[in-house]
Amino acid sequence: MSTSTDQERERYHSDRGPFAIFETPDLVQPPSPEDMVHADMSQAADYFDYSGLLDDNDEQDVRDALGELGRAIAPGSIVTPMFNQPKPDGMSLVHVWFGPNFPLFRHSHPQHGDCLYYIVAGSLIMGSRVLKAGDGFFLPNGMPYKYRAGPEGVEVLEFRAGGGDPDAPDLRLHETSLDGVRRLTEMAKEHQPEWQAPRKVSDGLQAAQS
């Protein structure tokens, strides 16, 4: 026997896809700083388009610096895909947790289109602005950005609706100097003792409401 949901699924159509339900997953816990001490980071730079740093620096120096940055920040972040439509204009939703005072490097995602960010819990500092739970920001495709998580950390929902350039890099680095990359690495190391990851997406929100 057909249910009302089945009937509505047949009635309503979108080029982005059919009706779908998704459920909150448990968050995969990040590695500890101790786990990262001996981790092989020789390929970490492959996640970036770091070409902007090659005019003034040796490529191996850039790769080494990005490897050390990756080693330092890995314990302080969790990126959890929640929903994804693998179509040129498909929608996606990602949950991101950053630990207290986490220093996010300046970067862009030109492959993935416009993006809307909504802060679920905690806060972040972007330039001179402090954004708190309930605040957010919109980024046109390819626009570089960076921020620092607030003293309690931050949980962010990232909404995308396609429209990017499939031939562009997934992640383009916009830091302008190796000294800047190394300063981010030292800042991350300084704050590692403060990082304790939530187990579920709702943990930070529940703590903020209690």
Instruction: Write down the CATH number for the domain with range 43-209.
Output: 2.60.120.10
Handedness of CA 14, 17, 18, 19 (dihedral sign): negative
Residue of 76, 210, 80, 204 lying closest to 134 (CA atoms): 204
- pTM attached to this predicted model: 0.90
Predicted confidence (pLDDT) per residue in 128-158, tens digit? 999 999 999 999 999 999 999 999 999 999 9
Q: Per-residue pLDDT for 26 more than 50?
A: yes
- pLDDT at res. 67: 97
Q: Is 176 within 8 Å of 70 (Cβ atoms)?
A: no
- The pLDDT mean for the chain works out to 91
| Cβ pair 155, 198 in contact under 8 A | yes
pLDDT 10s digits, 107-116: 999 988 899 9
How do beta strands 115-126 and 172-173 pair? unpaired
Instruction: Spell out the domain ranges in the chain.
Output: 43-209
